[in-house]
Amino acid sequence: MTTETFPTTPRTTPHRKRDRVSYRRATAAAIIDEALYCHLGFVVDGEPRVLPTLHARIDDTLYLHGSTGSGPMLAARGAGLRVCVTVTHLDGLVLARSWTHHSVNYRSVVVHGVAHLVTSEDEKWRALAALVDKVGAGRSADSRPPTPKELAEVAVLAVTLREASVKARLGGVADDEEDRALPHWAGVIPLRLTPGRPIPDAGVRVPLPTYLSALDSRSAASQDAPSASDRDAPSASDRDVPSVRP
C-alpha cells in the first residue's frame, strides 16, 4: 500500500536546512506535474551525465522520453539504469542587504531509483499520451498518434517513485538584524513561467482548441498584470516559514 510520505533514506536526508525538506508524496507529485521538463542524471562507463528531457507522471511511475539510440535508453536495457531525476521551479530572486543572504525562492524534487526501458506497447502508448497531454489536457486525442515506425523510434524509461524528497524555500529576506539599517534595497523579485499567445502554423484552418484557450487567457492576463517590482513581496517575517507548498 502506498503511504502518504516517502521513507527517509541516507540519500534523501539533508545535511543542512532540514526545515526546508518534505517527504509528502502529494507535494512531490504537484511539483513534478507542474514542470514541463526535468534533468536525468546517470553514469555510463564511469562518466557522469546529466540530460534535460521531457517527463510525465502516472500514479507512482515517472516516465522519461528519449530515442531508442540515446545513451540512457541503451544503458537501461536489462537490469535497468540507476538514475537521479531532478525537477526545479525557480519562483523568485531574494535580494538581501548583504552578499551572504542573497538567495532564491524555489521548489524542487529529487528522485532516486532504477530506470527500466518500457517494453510493453500498451504502457508505452499510455506514457506517450501522457507526455503529449502535458502541453494541454486532451491534446493526445486532438493530434495524430504515432505510426508503428515512429513508435519504434521512440523510447520511454519508467522510474517507480519509491525514494524521493522535496526541498523548497519561500518567503522574504533573511538579513541579520544589524544589517537592516543599511541603505540598500532589499526584497523579492517574483519569477514565473508564463505562456505566450498561441501562434498558428501556416495552413491551419481550425480554431484554437478549447484546451489551449486557457493558455491564451493566461498570456493576456500576464500582459496586464503588474510587474514584479509593483507586486508585494513576502514580508521578512515569512523568511523562516518551512518552505513547502501543498
Q: Would you give per-residue pLDDT tens digits along the chain (246 residues)?
A: 578 999 999 999 888 888 899 999 999 999 999 999 999 999 988 899 999 999 999 999 999 998 777 777 777 777 889 999 999 999 999 999 999 999 999 999 999 999 999 999 999 999 999 999 998 889 999 999 999 999 999 999 999 999 999 999 999 999 999 999 999 999 999 999 988 889 999 999 999 998 888 765 655 555 555 444 344 433 333 333 334 332
Distance CA 12, CA 9 (A): 5
Distance CA 113, CA 166 (A): 15
pTM: 0.84
Distance CA 244, CA 27 (A): 8
Cell of 121: 506497447
All domains of the chain, ordered by start, with CATH? 18-238 (2.30.110.10)
Task: Give me the pLDDT at residue 41, please.
Answer: 95
Distance CA 53, CA 159 (A): 14
Distance CA 69, CA 89 (A): 30
> What burial class does residue 54 get, using C-beta atoms within 10 Å of its C-beta: 0-12 exposed, 13-18 middle, 19+ buried?
middle
Task: Give me the pLDDT at residue 240, please.
Answer: 32
Task: Give me the pLDDT at residue 244, please.
Answer: 36
What's the residue count for the chain?
Answer: 246
